[in-house]
Chains A and B, each alone.
Chain A
């Protein structure tokens, strides 16, 4: 064999290629198959390839030994540069560019697969620097390793590199080293990088002018390097990403990368964290960061305030703009303070920047602080497993939103290198007022927020009230202005009890909290019209026709007393319906029984039967009861009750509930009322406010509990039914107010009558 002199670069390159082809790991023979593939990748004609193999002596030997391989590679380079293939030219050609190999992706992948064992077996090449297992560097380490010892001394590259600072610590070079391997085969460049990286450890004191030169060596973003490995199998070096590189070294790096990246990409895939490899923090680095963190903040679960961090990082002598950008990247929760993870990420970015790597546009995954809601040390009661590593950020944040600061304090000291793949991207939520809506939206989305039933409601209520007012005004064209106003009042006030009712219902029925979010039910359907019309056609007419209703309101016209306190749900609906359904038993019975009814009223709405379903709304029920009681004082109510009683007798709570539920849009108001009336009659003797109150509420609420049973599987149906019930509620509220007005009128009439009676009485006495 002709003696072959190779430049250092060529030596490295060829050795890499040989290793690449050394499938059997003999370190002496390159497998023919791979070699031929490689040669084919050189985009030379088959004839040339054959000629080369002949020249290098492989045909004689039958296999490619290392020297043959090297000769072949050099011949390929010669051929690619257009020179005639001559053995003599092996040593005579100077400044020969490295042979270039173009490989398709498939081949590359195939090679990757084949590369695994190769790279894995590069035992002697590894472990110069402690690296996480499975790192790519196995192959690269060869060159790197060679370089490492001579880092401080060798600087052949004419790059614009600064004088290498002797490394005080070797550890933190892994990502950088790996990067560099990938990027430059040229020894000098590689040398410089680790040197610079290593030297950066001593915090920020040393002048690092490397960064300027390093810019060209490091792509602007971490992903592109990996991407390039896929696309870099081209002749043209990606000059755009390596602007500062020496032309030859650039080319070398490209070509080397082709082979190198083939190996690396495999490992990248294997590690399943390809893009963030360069940004991964090694254990040594992390330990260093943690120590630095401790110097500022002894409590590892605490924060570093922004000012302290600013001072610390200013010592790195990076420009403020870059430090600002680093801060933006690393302060993930935007709270103005750095947790341990954030601090490590920031520190890592600073180190990278000082070593010449451009800052990424967004935080690499490996640097993202884990949104782990573990508060092991602090002991703050937070649902620890919720985030872990797999929780979606949306699910996490709503629970975290109110306690974001405490969340920050719970970063345990973790080894990021093992958990990159499962890193969750937290979606920080700040408690700025403007974010309340967004939070609500997230709460809605997650549907997991049970803790804030009212918060989403609060801001919605004004909107709801507006809606309701509109709805009310629309719905009651017949009513006076006062009606609309009062109805709107009832609606607005209804929101809270309704929502709370919904909440309670949910707690009972287990419906999703999404129902709660539906605080703004659509405007009730024109049921009130029906009710009004009914009342006008039947009840009201009869009731008031029989009575010298001078002060009576006209049928169909229900004046809502503006002062009517909002009474949601059953009571209201029951009462007005009671009015309507009562025929004939108007004033006379009303007045006569009014005193009786007063105490009995409580029974009216009740539904002690519904007690079973009664939810916890005694106070509201009580109010409603009182309201209903007053309203019921009207004779109509009494008569209606009786009439109603005669009806649906067998139907009990569940029946009423179900029917009330089922009959939604039009029917519900009357039916539930009837049933309630019936039950009222039955319960009249009982005269228990509480059960009745609860019963009233229970009727409406009872509808909901049944829902989950049947629909427990269908949340939408539940929500729909909830909506319908809410509509019913609003309608009933209106009815209630109407009836209350009627009650007042009737009371006045009664008083007038009694006065007349008194006036007449003296005669009787006499």
Chain B
């Protein structure tokens, strides 16, 4: 199975809303990687700026592959960005699986947003969200 190394959520202002990593890895390195991948995300979503009339693809796909891992991105219509870093060692990882993971993330994020006690921009502290992410990371690793 593939291994999700870390999963980050960023607000429209690119502040991290949620960060979760597999502790065994050197988290700081992945934080750095994810942060720099935001540039790629911005670039991808800016290209469609003129054609905003049509639906922009939420799933951004592989943002940047390195020798050790791959970075996938997803952006919502409100510019909330999700970034997943996956270990490259497993080649059986399919695009659809990543898409489904992002879909679940998006749904859980929507649930968090629905909570009136959650102020957009706050770090996400929802237990439901945490459990969903944990389930995803556990399942994949």
Give A residues with C-beta under 8 Å from B: 305-307, 309-310, 313, 320-321, 323-325, 327-328, 331, 334-336, 361, 430, 432, 434-435
Known contacts A432-B107, A435-B107; decide if A361 and B127 are in contact (CB<8 Å).
Answer: yes
* A328/B107 in contact, CB under 8 A: no
Give the complex CA separation of A434 and B141 in angstroms: 25
- Beyond the given A313-B117, A321-B125, A324-B126, please list 20 additional residue pairs across the A-B interface where CB-CB is below 8 A: A305-B116, A323-B117, A324-B115, A324-B117, A324-B118, A327-B116, A327-B117, A328-B127, A334-B111, A335-B114, A336-B115, A336-B116, A432-B106, A432-B107, A432-B110, A434-B58, A434-B103, A434-B106, A434-B107, A435-B107
Which 7 interchain pairs have the tightest Cβ spacing? A306-B116, A310-B116, A324-B117, A336-B114, A327-B115, A434-B103, A323-B117
Task: Report A-chain residues with C-beta under 8 Å of the C-beta of B106.
Answer: 432, 434
Among B109-135, those with CB < 8 Å from A are 110-111, 114-118, 125-128
A691 to B: closest C-beta gap in Å: 44
Task: Report B-chain residues with C-beta under 8 Å of the C-beta of A305.
Answer: 116
Nearest chain-B residue to A435 (Cβ)? Answer: B107
**What DSSP secondary structure best describes chain A's contact surface?**
helix
* A334/B114 in contact, CB under 8 A: yes
Q: What are 25 sample pairs from A and B whose C-beta atoms fall under 8 A apart?
A: A306-B115, A306-B116, A313-B117, A320-B117, A321-B125, A324-B117, A324-B125, A327-B115, A327-B116, A327-B117, A328-B111, A328-B126, A328-B127, A331-B115, A334-B111, A335-B114, A336-B114, A336-B115, A430-B107, A430-B110, A432-B106, A434-B58, A434-B106, A434-B107, A435-B107
B117 to A: closest C-beta gap in Å: 4
Task: Report A-chain residues with C-beta under 8 Å of the C-beta of B127.
Answer: 325, 328, 361
Give B residues with C-beta under 8 Å from A: 58, 103, 106-107, 110-111, 114-118, 125-128
Give the complex CA separation of A325 and B106 in angstroms: 19
* A309/B116 in contact, CB under 8 A: yes
Give the complex CA separation of A323 and B116 in angstroms: 9
A184 to B: closest C-beta gap in Å: 28
B10 to A: closest C-beta gap in Å: 19
A442 to B: closest C-beta gap in Å: 14
* B114/A310 in contact, CB under 8 A: no
Task: Report A-chain residues with C-beta under 8 Å of the C-beta of B115.
Answer: 306, 324, 327-328, 331, 336
Give the complex CA separation of A127 and B99 in angstroms: 58
B120 to A: closest C-beta gap in Å: 13
Give the complex CA separation of A361 and B126 in angstroms: 11
Nearest chain-A residue to B59 (Cβ)? Answer: A434
Give the complex CA separation of A306 and B127 in angstroms: 19
Task: Report A-chain residues with C-beta under 8 Å of the C-beta of B58.
Answer: 434
Task: Report A-chain residues with C-beta under 8 Å of the C-beta of B107.
Answer: 430, 432, 434-435
B11 to A: closest C-beta gap in Å: 17
Give the complex CA separation of A310 and B118 in angstroms: 10
A509 to B: closest C-beta gap in Å: 34
Nearest chain-A residue to B129 (Cβ)? Answer: A328
Task: Report A-chain residues with C-beta under 8 Å of the C-beta of B117.
Answer: 310, 313, 320, 323-324, 327
Task: Report B-chain residues with C-beta under 8 Å of the C-beta of A328.
Answer: 111, 115, 126-128
A462 to B: closest C-beta gap in Å: 13
Give the complex CA separation of A323 and B125 in angstroms: 12
Nearest chain-A residue to B119 (Cβ)? Answer: A320
A404 to B: closest C-beta gap in Å: 13
Give the complex CA separation of A320 and B125 in angstroms: 10
Give the complex CA separation of A313 and B127 in angstroms: 19
Give the complex CA separation of A310 and B127 in angstroms: 18
Task: Report A-chain residues with C-beta under 8 Å of the C-beta of B110.
Answer: 334, 430, 432
Cβ-defined partner of A307 (8 Å) among B116, B118, B125: B116
Task: Report A-chain residues with C-beta under 8 Å of the C-beta of B125.
Answer: 321, 324
Give the complex CA separation of A516 and B138 in angstroms: 37
Task: Report B-chain residues with C-beta under 8 Å of the C-beta of A321.
Answer: 125
Nearest chain-B residue to A309 (Cβ)? Answer: B116
Task: Report A-chain residues with C-beta under 8 Å of the C-beta of B126.
Answer: 324-325, 328
A323 to B: closest C-beta gap in Å: 5
